[in-house]
Amino acid sequence: MNHWHPESWQDKPAKQQAHYPSLEALNETLAQLAQLPPLVTSWEIEALKEKLAAAARGEAFLLQGGDCAENFSDCNSQIVTNKLKILLQMSLLLIHGLSKPVIRVGRIAGQFAKPRSADTETINGVTLPSYRGDLVNGPEFTPEARTPDPVRLLRGYGRAAMTLNFIRALSDCGFADLHHPENWDLDFMSHSPLAKEYRQVVEELSHSLKFMETLGSARNSDLNRVQFFTSHEGLHLHYEQSLTRQVPNRSGYYNLSTHLPWIGFRTAATTDAHIEYFSGIQNPVGVKVGPGMSSQWIQELVERLNPHSEEGKLLFIHRFGVNNIAEGLPPLIQAVKRTGRPVLWVSDPMHGNTESTQNGYKTRHFDNILSELEQAIEIHRSEGTILGGVHFELTGDDVTECIGGARGLDEAGLKRAYKTQVDPRLNYEQALEMALAITHKMGR
Ligand code: PEP
Ligand code: MN
């Protein structure tokens, strides 16, 4: 820690990194990236940290969601707006049901790098490097596509910048005005079995807004726009390093590629490069935790990633699976309590519940996701801690990747619109249903 530097991770073992054929080409690209302007600012990051501190105290709730992996081709108006729309709609349901401010964080504008269970993939006797996300290589099973190409780092930065630019423009104008939630309607909304409950909530909220404005207790500027933050897995350490900067009049370094970077479950060993890198940045940071993590390990994470006991600085995003959470989560909560340092607990009910169908589709059952989430709420209640947020893989589109939900999507229905290249996401309706379920379980 004493000698921390944006590049100091390079002295430690780094898992899940791309192997580039030319280091020279990689270094040239990194030098270019390091010259480009940041994507987010330290003010935004510090503002998010304050909000996350409130969530840790139970005074706000974090809604983090988006794709498992964004594709470069997803950087278009419709896909980005649909993702914003579903997050806005879910946040309205949560604000209404929990009576708390909701912090909206997308897995967006940079969620381009993926950890994989194997370095290579073999099909019909041909072995090629695994697809590691559009930041690294392409999904097509050809040597050209699968060879890591550093130019993709610049393209990823560009896609992230375009996506953020669009999000900022939308949030600054009528689109994100709380007075006009009709702007967030999605095309297929009118056919949804959940439409009625959603409409009722929107109507009640509109009345409350008018009431507050009549009383003069709400500032107009707060209501005319909503705030949006970004996050991604900080997996590709060369990329993260090149966007890690010092900021005038502030101490320390900020990762200015995103507001809230997180460390994946596979790269969370305390002796490894990812923890080294994350231990030196000022951003709030998340760590995915789950089966196999010991009390000592999680306590070391707390010491390394939140040595100054800052509120809102460290998030533990737990993902155990429906059958493991009851046994696995309580010891981790108790271990963290013994450190006496503040953390924000978040439930990711997706990543412990992935399975494959006989036809080879990677899927998740809505009921398992919901059950893990409900168990998480109860476990935190009985441990006297606070579940301050949720983390979902979802999309604003009408995909068929997870089984179940109000419309009873079954295994045979998966093939209709199965689009993900990596993990299965909740579709628009399943995501809304999940938000409603949270309010039923945690609400007033
Ligand atoms: C992910 O969030 O897509 C992911 C790979 O999660 P985890 O690190 O929890 O497995
Ligand atoms: Mn995933």
Residue 210 covered by a domain: no
Q: Give the burial string for 72-104 (b: 16+ CB within 10 Å, else e).
A: eebbeeebbbbbbbbbbbbbbbbbbbbebbbbb
Which domain range does residue 113 map to? 8-176+226-443
Residue 134 covered by a domain: yes
Is 423 within any annotated ligand binding site? yes
Residue 333 covered by a domain: yes
Q: Closest residue (by CA) to atom 10 of ligand 1? A: 265
Residue 202 covered by a domain: no
Is 173 within any annotated ligand binding site? no
Task: Return per-residue pLDDT of the chain as tens, 444 residues.
Answer: 459 999 999 999 999 999 999 999 999 999 999 999 999 999 999 999 999 999 999 999 999 999 999 999 999 999 999 999 999 999 989 998 999 999 999 999 999 999 999 999 999 999 999 999 999 999 999 999 999 999 999 999 999 999 999 999 988 877 877 778 877 777 666 777 788 888 888 888 777 777 777 776 666 555 567 789 999 999 999 999 999 999 999 999 999 999 999 999 999 999 999 999 999 999 999 999 999 999 999 999 999 999 999 999 999 999 999 999 999 999 999 999 999 999 999 999 999 999 999 999 999 999 999 999 999 999 999 999 999 999 999 999 999 999 999 888 999 999 999 999 899 999 999 999 999 999 999 986
- Within 8 A by CB and 6+ apart from 254, the residues are 38, 42, 45, 244, 245, 246, 247, 281, 282, 283
Rounded to the nearest angstrom, the distance between the alpha carbon of 393 and the centre of ligand 2 is: 7
Ligand 1 atom showing the smallest separation from residue 391 Cα: 2
- C-alpha pair distances (Å), 373 with each of 37, 246, 377, 383: 39, 38, 6, 15
Pairing type for strands 362-363 and 355-356 reads antiparallel
Query: CA 227 to CA 105: how far, in whole Å?
Result: 9
Kindly report the CATH number assigned to the domain that includes residue 385. Answer: 3.20.20.70
Rounded to the nearest angstrom, the distance between the alpha carbon of 423 and the centre of ligand 1 is: 9
Q: Residue 210 corresponds to which amino acid?
A: K
- Within 8 A by CB and 6+ apart from 248, the residues are none
Residue 223 pLDDT: 59
Residue 171 covered by a domain: yes
Rounded to the nearest angstrom, the distance between the alpha carbon of 133 and the centre of ligand 2 is: 11
Query: Domain total for the chain?
Result: 1
Residue 191 pLDDT: 73
- Within 8 A by CB and 6+ apart from 27, the residues are none
Q: Closest residue (by CA) to atom 4 of ligand 1? A: 264
Pocket around ligand 1 at a 6 A CB cut-off: 68, 115, 233, 264-266, 288, 319, 351, 423
3-state secondary structure the chain: CCCCCCCHHHHCCCCCCCCCCCHHHHHHHHHHHHHCCCCCCHHHHHHHHHHHHHHHCCCCEEEEEECCCCCHHHCCHHHHHHHHHHHHHHHHHHHHHHCCCEEEEEECCCCCCCCCCCCEEEECCEEEECCCCCCCCCCCCCHHHHCCCCHHHHHHHHHHHHHHHHHHHHHCCHHHCCCCHHHHCCHHHHHCCCHHHHHHHHHHHHHHHHHHHHHCCCCHHHHCCCCCEEEEECCCHHHHHHCEEECCCCCCEEECCCCEEEECHHHCCCCCHHHHHHCCECCCEEEEECCCCCHHHHHHHHHHHCCCCCCCCEEEEECCCCCCHHHHHHHHHHHHHHHCCCCEEEECCCCCCCEECCCCCEECEHHHHHHHHHHHHHHHHHHCCCEEEEEEEECCCCCCCCEECCCCECHHHHHHHCCCCCCCCECHHHHHHHHHHHHHHHCC
Task: List residues, by chain if needed, whose CB lies under 5 Å from ion ligand 2.
Answer: 68, 423
In sequence order, the β-bridge partners of residue 121 are 128
Query: CA 281 to CA 220: how far, in whole Å?
Result: 35
Query: CA 73 to CA 94: how far, in whole Å?
Result: 31
* Structure tokens, 293: 């993590």
Q: Closest residue (by CA) to atom 6 of ligand 1? A: 264
Residue 397 covered by a domain: yes
Is 391 within any annotated ligand binding site? no
Residue 190 covered by a domain: no
* Structure tokens, 22: 């030319």
Residue of 379, 279, 398 lying closest to 336 (CA atoms) = 379
Residue 207 pLDDT: 79
Is 393 within any annotated ligand binding site? yes
Neighbouring CB atoms inside 10 A of 416's CB total 10
Ligand 1 atom showing the smallest separation from residue 348 Cα: 9
Q: Is the ipTM of this complex over 0.90?
A: yes
Residue 75 covered by a domain: yes
